[in-house]
Amino acid sequence: MPLPHQLIVAGIGTEIGKTIVSATLTEALQADYWKPVQAGGLDDSDTDTVRRLVSNPHSRFHTEAYRLNQPMSPHAAAAADGVTIQLDAFRLPKTDNALVVELAGGLMVPLNDQSLNIDLVVQLGLPVVLVSRNYLGSINHTLLSVAACQSRSIPLVGLIFNGPTVPATESFILNYTQLPCLGRIGQEAQLTSHVITHYARQFA
């Protein structure tokens, strides 16, 4: 299934594999990459990780709108830094290239006292690729994430499963949501640009 020229990578929670999927899609589309909010890990950010893993020469890596010091929910990390994340401060990077945007955490993660990640998705106006990972409770988290997008008329391109495969879980999610499985990324002992290039072939 062809991927849109610009898209948002969202996850069903934290530590789901959004950054690995983002790197893979950035490689496959020879896209630019942007993470609007980085909370913690400023010395080795997700942007740094994607830059290391992507080997095509066409991608550019855009600066985050907010770089926060603490590895916390964005609203709390911003408060710890004495700033407030403003939804209207986000603007898509200007580029003629394809673009992969990676969210910080799950769709319902707060950015401030009033706004959630999903509100940022609505504002940016791009379709969503949803990353799921198999664990006890992932069906619930995946279906809730899909329902949240559908309730706000956010276009869902499909699902990417990251990590060990559990056929019973994946088949139920796909049958229930009627969303396509765009691809799978297995559990890898080490992630390198060669591994990312290998998985990128299924999306090219």
pLDDT in tens, 77-136: 999 999 999 999 999 999 999 999 999 999 999 999 999 999 999 999 999 999 999 999
- d(Cα 73, Cα 172) in Å, to the nearest integer? 30
Residue 1 pLDDT greater than 70, yes or no: no
Taking the model in full, what pTM does it have?
Answer: 0.96
- d(Cα 204, Cα 194) in Å, to the nearest integer? 15
Give me the mean pLDDT over the 134-155 stretch. Answer: 97
Return the pLDDT at 148. Answer: 98
Residue 16 is encoded by which pair of tokens?
Answer: 């789901």
Which residues, 6+ apart, have CB-to-CB distance to 1 below 8 Å?
Answer: 157, 158, 180, 182
Nearest 5 degrees, angle CA 90-CA 121-CA 146? 165
Residues classed as catalytic: 35
- d(Cα 199, Cα 204) in Å, to the nearest integer? 9
Return the pLDDT at 8. Answer: 98
Residue 166 pLDDT greater than 70, yes or no: yes
